[in-house]
Amino acid sequence: MKMEARRFLLLLFLLSLLSISTAATTRKIRARKPCKSMVLYFHDIIYNGKNAKNATSAIVGAPQWANRTLLAGQNHFGDLAVFDDPITLDNNLHSTPVGRAQGFYFYDKKEIFTAWLGFSFVFNSTEHKGSINFAGADPLMNKTRDISVIGGTGDFFMARGVATLMTDAFEGEVYFRLRTDIKLYECWQQV
């Protein structure tokens, strides 16, 4: 018996070492399914010199050959816009917003349309309080594009994940609507 007991202890010790090293050093993590999923839409109305009242975004930077009233040639390369867009649960611009998408995007390729985005979803409703922060490349000619959830606050404290963007509508050079499928793979809880 004494022998067996020692063997258990040894095994226990080895297993606990293994477990600590798994958790703390290799950091190869398998993601089975998101700990939280949400689908939301946001709506961007770009200022074009005539829609000051309705516009939710405006060009604030542009290359030397362009201006800040109209999107530039060469696939808008260099145009930088700041936005404060309503977030809705469905694809209707006139639905009651559940939050605001606030941030910036710029067009960054001369040959085709591509953009880069840094923004937050800011919630202040009975359902959600807090924010989700995003960053990443948006090759917007692709049907779906993945960007990163780089952090969050409040209900989304310390969140990490991936968001899939889809252009749900595009009207001239004034309005676009993005469907955002958010999948969080790290969900923290403050206790």
Return the residues of window 77-106 that contact a copy of itself according to CB under 8 A.
77-80, 82-84, 100, 102-104, 106
Interface with a copy of itself: number of residues (CB under 8 A): 88
Decide if 95 contacts 88 (C-beta within 8 A): yes
CA 188/CA 157 separation, integer angstroms: 6
Report the residue from 119, 140, 176, 177 that binds a copy of itself according to the rule CB under 8 A: 119
Q: Provide φ and ψ at 23, rounded to 5°.
A: -70, -35
Q: d(Cα 181, Cα 165) in Å, to the nearest integer?
A: 7
Closest separation in Å from C-beta 95 to a copy of itself:
19
Tell me: does residue 47 bind a copy of itself (CB under 8 A).
yes
Q: Is residue 50 at the binding interface for a copy of itself, with CB under 8 A as the rule?
A: no
- Rounded distance, CA 11 to CA 83, Å? 58
Comparing CB distances to a copy of itself, the nearer of 67 and 92 is 67
If the CB atoms of residues 151 and 179 are measured against a copy of itself, the closer one turns out to be 151
CA–CA distances in Å: residue 26 to residues 15, 23, 97, 159: 16, 7, 42, 21
The separation between CA 61 and the C-alpha centre of its own chain, rounded to angstroms, equals 22
Give the position of tokens 């080895």: 14
Please choose, from the candidates 133, 132, 134, 128, the residue with its C-alpha nearest in 3D space to the C-alpha of residue 147. Answer: 134
Buried b vs exposed e over 128-150: b needs ≥16 C-beta within 10 Å?
bebbbbbebebbbeeeebebebe
Q: Does 10 bind a copy of itself (CB under 8 A)?
A: no
CB of 98 to a copy of itself, least distance (A): 15
User: Restricting to residues 53-82, which ones interact with a copy of itself according to CB under 8 A?
Assistant: 58-65, 67-69, 77-80, 82
Site for a copy of itself in 121-160 (CB under 8 A): 122, 130-131, 133, 135-137, 139, 146-154, 157-158, 160
3 binds a copy of itself (CB under 8 A): no
Which window, 44-52, 90-98, 166-174, contacts a copy of itself (CB under 8 A)? 44-52
Of 63 and 90, the one with the shorter C-beta distance to a copy of itself is 63
Q: Which of positions 158-187 make contact with a copy of itself (CB under 8 A)?
A: 158, 160-162, 185-187
